Structure 1
Amino acid sequence: MSKNIKLIHPRNQITEIISRIYKRGMTTTSGGNISIIDDSGDIWVTPSAVDKGSLTPADIICVKKDGTIIGEHKPSSEFPFHKAIYEARPDIKSVIHAHPPALVSFSIVRQIPNTNVISQAKHICGPIGYAKYELPGSDELGEVIAEEFKEGYMAIIMENHGTVLGGTSLTDAFERFEALEFCARTILYGSQIGKPNYLTDSQIEQFEAQVPASIPEMDVVETPSDEVEKRLEICNIVNRSCEQGLMISSYGTVSMRWKDNDFLITPTNVNRWDLEIDDIVQIKDGKREAGKTPSRATWIHQEIYKNNPNINSIIMTQSPYLMAFGITDSYLNVRTIPESWIFLQDIPTVKYGEHFKTNTNSSIVENCTTALIIENDSVIITGDKLLQTFDYLEVAEFSAKSVVLGTSLGEMVPINDDQVEDLRKKFLS
């Protein structure tokens, strides 16, 4: 979906985002609803009782400012609270309501997830409100939700119901929705293997204070065919990562070595789902492509390439099961199955802040293993070809998932030292 959403009809915006939500398992065929209010005051909303997995733009309903309904179906039964939110908060232009499993878990135990669990979520989600239970589709539900939004919240847990989020655009609302559900999932998975640790507000401010634009701009940019090919490869891997739940809108950096120590890297503050070839930033001789702001992590990618000539691609992302280990003091032992150990060996964890430019002696560069976890922030995966690096990410996430799920069955029995030595001799010698 183009970043210039004003050029996309609300019908198309809604069907694109509901498709993402459904395919990622964050709503059901019948559950959830999305709306957009346009500049005329008309509200475009998902229909009632129509399969969320196969919605088309023609299915989207328009409720005119005067109450006239245009469309083939009835508007969502939850339309009253969408309307109440827009009346209470003129700055909100889009609303998402859904029942994603992790946030429903919080809603049924009547808790609010602490977004300080990962680096960027506090600023994306803002403070989280809490709306008491009222009958779905009722005016009373609209009233209690509107009251929460009047307090300034953009994200609300609905008691025994799910969540509702607002945004200045549908992209903004989805980014908030995705980040909040990710926090909830990470806390839940982390709680199965240990006790979640949270960042302080000052640690989060350190993350936000990084200024990638301080890298000087280059005067001339060359984009030969091999460079363009790498840009496309990065975009394809980022999109694939988003579709498979290995990356979210608000966090994820992918880079590829181009030639020598020059490389291409994803930008900052661009929705990962909507990344385009022109967004990719070229870094050459320590300078950035003019007019573009590269990832906050550019410096560390640059140092990894300089110090590790065998590494030609890097993925830095947040995936829920790996981050379960990133937010706890639990060690991820990948001696689960032969493939996991052969690809990954041991996965070290480093302290939060090791990835900031102020830490020029970062152990991330010195201990550049295939996979490395930064506490409460991300996982870094390195490799030769980008597809290979993506494969390592998948293997790491699957391994973490197996360990988390296995905790309910008993204590993990890893491959023993003799078996590891056999694998080393056969596959790594």
Structure 2
Amino acid sequence: MKQLDTQLMHPSEQLTIIISRIYRSGMTTTSGGNISIKDDNGDIWITPSAIDKGSLTPADIVCVKKDGTITGKHKPSSEYPFHKAIYDIRPEMTAVIHAHPPALVSFSIVGEIPNTNIIPQAKNICGPIGFAPYALPGSQQLGENIAHEFKTHPEYKAVIMENHGVVLGGTDLMDAYQRFETLEFCARTIINAKTIGTPKYLTDKQIIDFEKALNVNIQPFMDVTYPSDERAIRAEICRIVRRACDQGLMISTYGTVSVRWKDNDFLITPPNIARWDILPEHIVQVKNGMVEAGKHPSRSVALHQLIYQTNPKVNSIILTQSPNLMAFGTTGEKFDVRTIPESWIFLKDVSSVPFGTQHENAAAVAEILQNVPAVIVENDSVIVTGNKLLETFDHLEVAEFSAKSLVMAAPIGKLKPINDEQIEELRIAFNVQ
């Protein structure tokens, strides 16, 4: 999944973009974390020591030459030694990310590794994960401890650092970043799930069978046109995808948005492109059940098509994973939206369906969405619908905020939901069908 063009973009630009993304997502602090790239010359470009991560520019990035000389106006990160150690023993890796995101730090301080079987795509993205014992930050011993994990387990691309954080490698910076973001999402989902109940994990067989069921083979069409209304939809989809990422409602490795265009024709996001970086030209047109030639639609395209065919009032769909809704989606606990009036008015009562239903019995999902705007697919996603795309996004935000309130309330006490009589008052007052 590459979106940062390693052929055209300088390493210092790549590092600046990704460290900014990590900082804005709340996965590192002003002074914490460091990332690096090893270029074709064997030079290592790395974020500087003790410089604000929230305002780095390409000019701040430091280069440590292959011969050890340093160029740049700052000192390289104090953790440079373990970056170099990883590159020395795993030459196929050209990017390393180290940070202290709270959820992964939580695992590091209790000596546990997140189980990535919590959602289907994470196992393949993250791979098996190591655990390195504690050592002094910046020390040779820390570098040796991390290097040992990567050396003795060549299948590892991610290592939890005891009482410290996480370090991940990749074939390029986007590969490392998407592994980092996905692993952190798994950690947050597990923590949220344990707050309200007991997480349920997928088996390896379930994941393998699910991946096989996702194969999309749709006939292409050649006579593609892009009238102005179609182009406007493409731009709107991109804006909402970026907004979902900014709001923490979507991660770079998962999330699908579609909008009805004409009749049952629609536009949909593609797979295998980082959601942060989706552009209008990436969006795929689906017309008369066929896709525009040369493009691949989301692997959930058949489900989207069935929802549009079944529900003429639905004009947009968002399928995503958000950390608090997925707490309910991974525990089987009831997502009771009778928390505040707005939640029930917008969502009514949200139900869940078993993992795999969205492909094995998509008609059942489409039928549920005739009466409510959202449904949770266990261990997979939340599917949200609406008329206009902004309305659908609003439904998603309200659902995630409601889920977050319930997760945060769990340690305080038992939910006291709005009762049936009050619900009936809301139904009448706000004309909820």
Equivalent residue, structure 1, for 2:334: 331
Structure 1 residue 211: deviation in Å? 4.7
User: Which residue of the partner structure matches residue 366 of structure 1?
Assistant: 367
**Structure 2 residue identity aligned to 1:146:** A
Structure 2, unaligned runs of 5 or more: none
Aligned partners of 1:428, 1:58: CA distance in 2, in Å? Answer: 57
SS of the equivalent of 1:122 reads helix
Looking at structure 2, the residues matched to 190 and 260 of structure 1 have their Cα atoms a distance apart, in angstroms, of 40
Aligned AA for 2:178? E
1:299 and 2:331 are equivalent in the alignment: no
Q: Do structure 1's residue 281 and structure 2's residue 289 form an aligned pair?
A: no
Whether the 8 Å CA contact 2:318–2:384 is kept in 1: the answer is yes
The residue aligned with 1:419 is 422
| Local SS of the residue matching 1:296 | coil
2:354 equivalent to 1:351? yes
Structure 2 residue aligned with 1:59:
60
- Counterpart for residue 313 of structure 2: 310
Q: Following the alignment from structure 2 to structure 1, what is the Cα–Cα distance between the partners of residues 270 and 215?
A: 9
Matches within 5 A, 1:4-19: 4-19=5-20
Deviation at 1:4, TM superposition (A): 2.2
Q: Which residue in 1 is equivalent to 2:82?
A: 81
Matched, 1:401 2:376: no
**Aligned partner of residue 311 in structure 1, secondary structure:** coil
Give the match for residue 185 of structure 1: 188
User: RMSD of aligned C-alpha atoms?
Assistant: 1.1
Give the structure 2 partner of residue 173 of structure 1: 176
CA distance in 1 between partners of 2:144 and 2:131 (Å): 13
Distance in structure 2 (CA, Å) of the matches to 1:69 and 1:29:
23
Write the letter of the residue equivalent to 2:77: S
**SS at structure 2 position matched to 1:185:** helix
CA distance in 2, matches of 1:182, 1:211: 22
Could you tell me which amino acid in structure 2 is paired with residue 225 of structure 1? Answer: S
Counterpart of 2:143, as a letter, is: G
| Structure 1 runs (4+) greater than 6 angstroms displaced | none
For residues 31 and 111 of structure 1, the distance between their equivalents in structure 2, rounded to whole angstroms, comes to 22
Q: Is 1:321 the equivalent of 2:320? A: no
In the aligned structure 2, how far is the partner of 1:126 from the partner of 1:422? 51
Give a deviation string over 1:76-106, Cα, whole Å, max 9, x none: 0000000000001010010000000000000
- Counterpart of 1:132, as a letter, is P
The residue correspondences of 1:3-402 to structure 2 (distance < 5 A) are 3-150=4-151, 151-152=153-154, 153-356=156-359, 359-360=360-361, 362-368=363-369, 369-402=372-405
- Over 3 Å counting, the alpha-carbon distance change for 1:104 and 1:131 in structure 2 is same
Aligned mates of 1:35, 1:340 — CA distance in 2? 43
**8 Å Cα contact 1:212/1:295 also seen in 2:** no
Deviations 1:103-156 (A, max 9, x none): 000000000000000010000000001111111101111111111112120011
CA gap 1:20/1:289 in 2 versus in 1, 3 angstroms: same
Q: Is the 8 A contact 1:212 1:293 kept in 2?
A: no
Q: Give the number of aligned pairs.
A: 427
Name the SS of the counterpart of 2:221 in structure 1: coil
- Give how far 1:360 is off: 4.4
Would the aligned equivalents of 2:96 and 2:167 in 1 still touch at CA under 8 Å? Answer: yes
Question: Contact 1:342–1:428 (CA<8 Å) still a contact in 2?
Answer: no
What is the one-letter code of the residue matched to 1:17?
A: I
Query: What is the CA–CA distance in structure 1 between the aligned matches of 2:215 and 2:124, rounded to whole Å?
Result: 18
Contact 2:284 2:297 in 1 (8 A): yes
SS at match of 1:283: strand
Secondary structure at the residue paired with 1:315? Answer: strand
- Deviation at residue 338 of structure 1 after TM alignment: 0.7
Check whether the contact 2:119–2:202 (CA below 8 A) recurs between aligned residues: yes
